Structure 1
Amino acid sequence: MIRPDDLAHCREVIRTGSLSFHAASKLLPANVRDPALALYAFCRLADDEVDEGNNKTAAVLRLRDRLDLAYAGTPLDAPEDRAFAAIIAEYDMPRALPDALLEGLAWDAQERRYATLSDVRAYSARVASAVGAMMCVLMRVRCADTLARACDLGVAMQLTNIARDVGEDARAGRIYLPTDWLAGHGMDADAFLADPHPTPQVRAMTKALLREADHLYRRSEAGISGLPRQARLGIWAARLIYAGIGDQVTRQGYDSIGHRAHTSRAQKLVWIGQAGVRALGAGVMPRSALIYADPLPEVTFLVDAARQGQPARRRMTSVLNTLADLSAREMSHGNGGQSA
């Protein structure tokens, strides 16, 4: 399905660029691990294009074009693109799922701020839960309840990333803390970005994000038993390793400005051992009623898309509107006008 040389390239991208996923991926069966590595390599490419480029708007629009080519069966001549096109063909990947990721990256290009926790969850749904839903498709899982729990895990992981990167994001001029939380603590977002410090107020908001992540990690566990038996160990490991990052932030007193949380190889090995115990237990313990919890409102569109599938050409209206706005900004900038 995926060319061996393209797969080798994708493995190397993940080995050097995503240590946590690389560790967890080793525990997946080959029939899931190989397409998952290709999927993550394409998503990593997309994220890096937007995050590291000088013109984020142009990067998003290039990614839109690359997705169009991949879904047309004529991918760009690059390993990640060829591999992703193979995944589309083999697994009938609904277009709405990578489109959701693209929309989240477009929001980054627009330098959006998020007023409420629900808004932050909506962003997390796009940049993280969309990948979780695509992982379910790679496992041939289309059960709505299992998909909802996979999306819980995606949001939890992204909230953990946000909590870990408060300082790094602030120094890059980005903020993902809900602005109504800042206002509730008497803080101004621009003033914080100009001079970020781990004040008690910022630590309290970081703690609140991790509390929400922990709630969603617990909910996500119920869905793991709905995955293929051979894949459960790897997903359990990913859940525990990412939650461990949040635990490290907690041990630092919720200061992710003066320090950036890191986890060691030894810690990962412990969590992988714990994942093995839990994966074995999933086959004998009664199924948790949490499997039937309603999906978060912010991820329902992902569950529907992955469950039902969509024709390749169908696009979400919100994505089209966001991309149209970016195109207008890019055209204005190219004509000598000022970007908004």
Structure 2
Amino acid sequence: MIDPADLTHCEEAIRTGSLSFHAASKLLPGNVRDPALALYAFCRLADDAVDLNTEKSAAVLSLRDRLDLAYAGRPRNAPADRAFAAIVEDFDMPRALPEALLEGLAWDAMERRYDSLSDLLDYAARVAATVGAMMCVLMRARDADTLARACDLGLAMQLTNIARDIGEDAQAGRIYLPLDWMDEFGVNPAAFLADPQPTPAVRRMTKRLLSHATRLYLRAGPGITALPLSCRPGIQSAQLIYAAIGQDIARAGYDSVTRRARTTGGTKLWAVAKALSLTGAGMVMPRSAVLFAPPSPEVRFLVDAAAKTAPVHQQRPAGLLATLRQLEAKDRSRRGLIVQSEPPIT
């Protein structure tokens, strides 16, 4: 069980760090809301540890160690770590899921860019669809179809985030738009980073990205009907709030370079009311055939891991070990150390 003091700390971290999730979480039943707050606090901690740290390689390697301790039942003496360790034990959280998140954060630390939409979805699978899959584990909804739609929702939310943050990311020297799109629209990445402007080409790419997000929101929707009835309003409201971010970008002519889209308190209240009306107690929602669509190739490994009924503590995403080795070598090189033969990371 999560210690009440640790839970209070996690809720405060979410209240200040993720207003959209905090608003949606109020609609979840207590037995899901509390572990969800702890999960999001740990994910927020992980994201901030890399994003806000100038020593990104070292930050990712530190997160790997913290994850190892949590799964060993000896978490670091910090509220989010202790709460996450409790989730691992109480819900048999497959290790492949937070490991995938760690891999996505490692890609950020390596300043990786993405050649195609599929490559970008590989990244979104790790930093966002993982959270959707872990939320399903907390709701004890571990059938493959529901998990696939939850991953769709995670992908849609991440594409929305990327569309919203194009200008902010450019100011930080980051590009997430697929490089083949930039080539198609005649946008030179180096020139864009040097002087980010909401040109017609950039606006068209933003619009295309949000179109893909909309398609994924539509695929995700039927999965909400497969969740426990008490959980549906919270997830539905989260979907509506994130979709509203994309709608705000569209109203601004797809300019997310000179402005950053936001949702107002009124929009959040509307989303909550709409979610309650769509998923009211006793309402019978028809099952759409889309519920049974196969998972996107980029998230299949997450679905396979989360759908297992037995704990999968040692499974890691393909490529994670190589990525961590590269980060260790980079970290040692930065500190002027000689990299010698070492035993493999396990």
Q: TM-score range by the shorter chain?
A: over 0.9
- Equivalent positions of 1:153-164 (< 5 A) are 153-164=153-164
CA distance in 2, matches of 1:282, 1:236: 16
CA distance in 2, matches of 1:219, 1:246: 16
Query: Cα distance, 1:336 vs. partner?
Result: 5.5
Does the aligned pair in 2 maintain the 1:225–1:282 contact within 8 Å?
Answer: no
Map Cα deviations across residues 30-88 of structure 1 (whole Å, 9 max, x no partner).
00000000000000000000000010000000000000000000000000000000000
Q: 1:281 to 1:156 in 2, by over 3 A?
A: farther
Paired residue type of 1:241: I
Paired residue type of 2:189: A
Does 1:138 pair with 2:176? Answer: no
Query: Cα distance, 1:331 vs. partner?
Result: 1.5
Does 1:333 pair with 2:337? Answer: no
Does 1:49 pair with 2:24? Answer: no
CA distance in 1, matches of 2:137, 2:165: 29
Query: Cα distance, 1:281 vs. partner?
Result: 8.8
Paired residue type of 1:50: V
Q: Which residue of 1 aligns with 2:67?
A: 67
CA distance in 2, matches of 1:278, 1:134: 24
CA distance in 1, matches of 2:176, 2:211: 16
- Equivalent positions of 1:220-239 (< 5 A) are 220-239=220-239
Q: Which residue of 2 aligns with 1:22?
A: 22
RMSD: 1.3
- Equivalent positions of 1:148-187 (< 5 A) are 148-187=148-187
SS of residue in 2 equivalent to 1:317 = coil
CA distance in 1, matches of 2:202, 2:99: 33
Q: Which residue of 2 aligns with 1:206?
A: 206
CA distance in 2, matches of 1:285, 1:136: 19
Does the aligned pair in 2 maintain the 1:96–1:310 contact within 8 Å?
Answer: no
User: What TM-score do you get using the length of structure 2 for normalisation?
Assistant: 0.96
Q: Which residue of 2 aligns with 1:91?
A: 91
More off after superposition, 328-337 vs 217-226: 328-337
Q: Which residue of 2 aligns with 1:300?
A: 300
Query: Cα distance, 1:337 vs. partner?
Result: 7.8
CA distance in 1, matches of 2:241, 2:114: 27
Query: Cα distance, 1:129 vs. partner?
Result: 0.4
CA distance in 1, matches of 2:334, 2:282: 54
Paired residue type of 1:203: R
Aligned length: 338
Does 1:252 pair with 2:252? Answer: yes
Unaligned runs of 5+ in 1: none
CA distance in 2, matches of 1:242, 1:123: 19
Does 1:120 pair with 2:123? Answer: no
Paired residue type of 1:321: A
Query: Cα distance, 1:314 vs. partner?
Result: 2.7
- Equivalent positions of 1:29-44 (< 5 A) are 29-44=29-44
CA distance in 1, matches of 2:284, 2:311: 36
Q: 1:136 to 1:282 in 2, by over 3 A?
A: farther
Does 1:104 pair with 2:117? Answer: no
CA distance in 1, matches of 2:263, 2:312: 41
Does the aligned pair in 1 maintain the 2:122–2:299 contact within 8 Å?
Answer: yes
Q: Which residue of 1 aligns with 2:314?
A: 313
Q: 1:188 to 1:33 in 2, by over 3 A?
A: same
CA distance in 1, matches of 2:72, 2:338: 34
Unaligned runs of 5+ in 2: 340-346
Q: Which residue of 1 aligns with 2:9?
A: 9
CA distance in 2, matches of 1:51, 1:8: 24
CA distance in 2, matches of 1:243, 1:286: 22
CA distance in 1, matches of 2:295, 2:277: 27
Does the aligned pair in 1 maintain the 2:225–2:285 contact within 8 Å?
Answer: no
Paired residue type of 2:322: N
